[in-house]
């Protein structure tokens, strides 16, 4: 019997093409079946970098691949990322993938999710990029010094269909405490910094340099991915004369909107994706100014028009991003948990004002030493945890919904970060938030109460901590177990 239709492909090619068909049903991204794993390598080591322009000297820093910031890792949603990390520092380190929803073993928290990478050793991180967005990576070992000396970089996961723009840029903002000779001041772990607003510096850099001018064209539409990698500085950016719209917070899409009071607020570790339409008058002196939360305002850079105008009016291209596949919390069925932050300078005053009587405080560690002991300055539900904390203060059943009622009973603002999940910020001081935004790091003002909601769908032990590195090192952290 002869075949009516003679196959025109070989058996081997047939197997390959049917497999591609199967792959494309699980990974809805064209090309993903071929380029599924993207490989990068990072080497942490001492190096030198130019933070401030000549004639100042360059600066001894800790670098990934010899640079500050480290290389931008850029992949597409649905791809798998594999990063081999080599530790050529004189101390242990890890890499944490901030904001990424990944398996617990890849989260990079020393003693909790992995053995820290010893000097001279390597560790391979590998996970799927389920969410598109602006993320970043940094050590989770003695973060206040390792990040503070320059170990960080951007991790960009591109959308399947990015919004149309003329140009896209990543701006990593950092804040350094430099000496007269442009050296990084050695006073990491200073008790005054720890008990106040953290290590504030005197030099702000954009992508590792003191910035001067960023040239734009009149009418140009630019996507700016802002990442705050500073230990402690809270930025409140004003794009004078131009029209910025926020399209994503912490990598997660939000309904495009103008920043409240014209200020783009970025606490440590937070990210904002902006669409910036360059609408200032052609001869206007436009600048990016930090209206500075903790300080007096100062200019970060000029937005200078170059000769050519692109168009007279902003384009009408859509700005909205496609939402990521996040599980929607069931608010009616959610269990509620109170989390109260206390401690720090002048904290008791705020506790009294908020009607909280001296919470029962315990110290998790002794005084600061380099072995991961914390001084007990900040408290989460009365406990100051040390860096090696491993007992959970909350245990949540997997795939159930939870609302955390956060109370900042301190005299300082705190960006509070949860690992392994994104959560919706559902209310502030009892008032529902306008955008019900998804975040992984929620900014809390002094004496503020914030409710966040999420589905605990990712099993494992997850850090929950303030991202002001000095607060984290001084007790303001804890572990949430999802089981």
The answer to whether residue 417 forms part of the interface with ligand C2O (CB under 6 A) is yes
The answer to whether residue 98 forms part of the interface with ligand C2O (CB under 6 A) is yes
Exposure string over 243-253, b if 16+ CB within 10 A, otherwise e = bbbbbbbbbbb
Residue 177 touches which member of ligand C2O, Cu ion, none, C-beta under 5-8 Å by kind? none
Long-range contacts formed by 255-260: CB under 8 A, 24+ apart: 255/320, 255/435, 256/319, 256/320, 257/434, 257/435
Between CA 442 and CA 294 the distance in angstroms is: 18
Of 425, 140, 155, 158, the residue nearest 265 (C-alpha) = 425
The answer to whether residue 479 forms part of the interface with ligand C2O (CB under 6 A) is no
Residue 465 touches which member of ligand C2O, Cu ion, none, C-beta under 5-8 Å by kind? ligand C2O
The answer to whether residue 466 forms part of the interface with Cu ion (CB under 5 A) is yes
Binds ligand C2O by CB under 6 A, chosen from 73, 173, 269, 350: 269
Q: How many residues bind Cu ion (CB under 5 A)?
A: 4
The answer to whether residue 96 forms part of the interface with ligand C2O (CB under 6 A) is yes
Write the binding mask 360 to 399 for Cu ion: x where contact by CB under 5 A, - elsewhere.
Answer: ----------------------------------------
Binds Cu ion by CB under 5 A, chosen from 81, 288, 426, 468: 468
18's enclosing H/E stretch is helix 11-26
Between CA 156 and CA 263 the distance in angstroms is: 24
Residue 221 touches which member of Cu ion, ligand C2O, none, C-beta under 5-8 Å by kind? none
77 vs 229, beta carbon nearer Cu ion: 229
Binds ligand C2O by CB under 6 A, chosen from 101, 177, 419, 471: 419
142 vs 419, beta carbon nearer ligand C2O: 419
Of 24-32, 63-71, 235-243, 461-469, which part binds ligand C2O (CB under 6 A)?
Answer: 461-469
CB atoms within 10 A of CB 459: 15
Contact status, residue 71 vs residue 172, Cβ threshold 8 Å: no
Question: Minimum CB separation from Cu ion for residue 268, in Å?
Answer: 8
Write the binding mask 217 to 256 for ligand C2O: x where contact by CB under 6 A, - elsewhere.
Answer: ----------------------------------------
| List of residues 6+ apart from 473 with CB closer than 8 A | 142, 143, 144, 189, 194, 368, 374, 387
Structure tokens at 74: 């850029």
Q: What angle do CA 415, 257, 175 make, to 5 degrees?
A: 35
129 vs 275, beta carbon nearer ligand C2O: 129
Return the SS3 of 36: coil
Between CA 379 and CA 189 the distance in angstroms is: 17
389 vs 468, beta carbon nearer Cu ion: 468
Residue 421 touches which member of ligand C2O, Cu ion, none, C-beta under 5-8 Å by kind? none
Q: What is the CA radius of gyration of the chain?
A: 23
Question: Minimum CB separation from Cu ion for residue 466, in Å?
Answer: 3
The answer to whether residue 471 forms part of the interface with Cu ion (CB under 5 A) is yes
| List of residues 6+ apart from 225 with CB closer than 8 A | 134, 154, 156, 168, 169, 170, 171, 271, 273
Question: Minimum CB separation from Cu ion for residue 230, in Å?
Answer: 13
Write the binding mask 371 to 410 for ligand C2O: x where contact by CB under 6 A, - elsewhere.
Answer: ----------------------------------------
Of 26-34, 238-246, 293-301, 464-472, which part binds Cu ion (CB under 5 A)?
Answer: 464-472
Of 392, 403, 408, 401, the residue nearest 448 (C-alpha) = 408
What is the arrangement of strands in the sheet containing 271-277, beginning at the earlier edge strand?
A: 203-206, 167-176, 221-228, 271-277, 243-249, 252-257
Question: Minimum CB separation from ligand C2O for residue 218, in Å?
Answer: 37
Residue 419 touches which member of Cu ion, ligand C2O, none, C-beta under 5-8 Å by kind? ligand C2O
Between CA 412 and CA 467 the distance in angstroms is: 13
Between CA 36 and CA 29 the distance in angstroms is: 10
Structure tokens at 441: 């790091």
**What secondary structure letter does DSSP report for 77?**
T
The answer to whether residue 414 forms part of the interface with Cu ion (CB under 5 A) is yes
| List of residues 6+ apart from 367 with CB closer than 8 A | 373, 375
Question: Minimum CB separation from Cu ion for residue 89, in Å?
Answer: 26
Residue 466 touches which member of Cu ion, ligand C2O, none, C-beta under 5-8 Å by kind? Cu ion
The answer to whether residue 465 forms part of the interface with ligand C2O (CB under 6 A) is yes
Task: Give the binding site for Cu ion (CB under 5 A).
Answer: 414, 466, 468, 471
- Interface residues with ligand C2O (CB under 6 A) are 96, 98, 138, 140, 269, 417, 419, 463, 465, 467
């Amino acid at each position: 019997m002869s075949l009516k239709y003679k196959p025109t492909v070989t058996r081997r090619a047939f197997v390959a093409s049917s497999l591609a068909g199967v792959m494309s049903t699980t990974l809805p991204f064209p090309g993903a079946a071929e380029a599924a794993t993207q490989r990068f390598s990072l080497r942490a080591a001492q190096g030198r970098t130019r933070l401030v322009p000549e004639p100042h000297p360059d600066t001894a820093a800790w670098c990934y691949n010899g640079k500050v910031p480290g290389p931008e890792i850029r992949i597409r949603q649905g791809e798998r990322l594999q990063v081999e990390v080599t530790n050529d520092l004189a101390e242990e380190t890890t890499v944490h993938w901030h904001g990424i929803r990944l398996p617990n073993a890849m989260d990079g928290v020393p003693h909790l999710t992995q053995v820290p990478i010893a000097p001279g050793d390597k560790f391979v991180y590998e996970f799927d990029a389920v969410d598109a967005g602006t993320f970043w990576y940094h050590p989770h070992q003695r973060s206040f010094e390792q990040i503070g000396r320059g170990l960080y970089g951007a991790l960009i996961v591109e959308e399947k269909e990015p919004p149309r723009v003329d140009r896209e840029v990543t701006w990593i903002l950092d804040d350094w405490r430099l000496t007269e000779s442009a050296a990084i001041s050695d006073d990491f772990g200073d008790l005054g910094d720890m008990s106040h607003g953290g290590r504030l510096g005197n030099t702000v850099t954009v992508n590792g340099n003191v910035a001067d001018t960023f040239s734009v064209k009149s009418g140009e539409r630019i996507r700016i991915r802002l990442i705050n990698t500073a230990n402690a500085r809270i930025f409140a950016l004003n794009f004078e004369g131009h029209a910025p719209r926020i399209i994503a917070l912490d990598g997660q899409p939000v309904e495009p909107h103008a920043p409240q009071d014209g200020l783009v607020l970025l606490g440590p570790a937070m990210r904002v994706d902006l669409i910036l339409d360059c609408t200032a008058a052609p001869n206007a002196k436009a600048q990016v100014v930090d209206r500075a939360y903790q300080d007096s305002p100062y200019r970060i850079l000029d937005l200078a028009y170059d000769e050519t105008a692109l168009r007279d009016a902003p384009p009408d291209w859509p700005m909205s991003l496609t939402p990521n596949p996040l599980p929607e919390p069931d608010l009616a069925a959610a269990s509620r948990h109170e989390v109260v932050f206390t401690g720090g300078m002048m904290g008791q005053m705020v506790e009294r004002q908020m009607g909280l009587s001296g919470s029962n405080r315990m110290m998790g560690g002794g005084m600061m030493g380099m072995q991961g002991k914390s001084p007990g300055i900040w408290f989460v539900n009365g406990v100051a945890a040390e860096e090696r904390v491993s007992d959970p203060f909350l245990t949540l059943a997997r795939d159930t919904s939870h609302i955390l009622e956060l109370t900042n009973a301190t005299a300082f603002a705190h960006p509070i970060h949860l690992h392994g999940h994104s959560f919706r910020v559902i209310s502030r001081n009892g008032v529902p938030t306008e955008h019900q935004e998804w975040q992984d790091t929620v900014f809390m003002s002094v004496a503020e109460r914030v409710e966040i909601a999420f589905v605990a769908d990712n099993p494992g032990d997850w850090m929950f901590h303030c991202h002001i590195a000095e607060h984290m090192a001084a007790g303001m952290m804890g572990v949430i177990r999802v089981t």
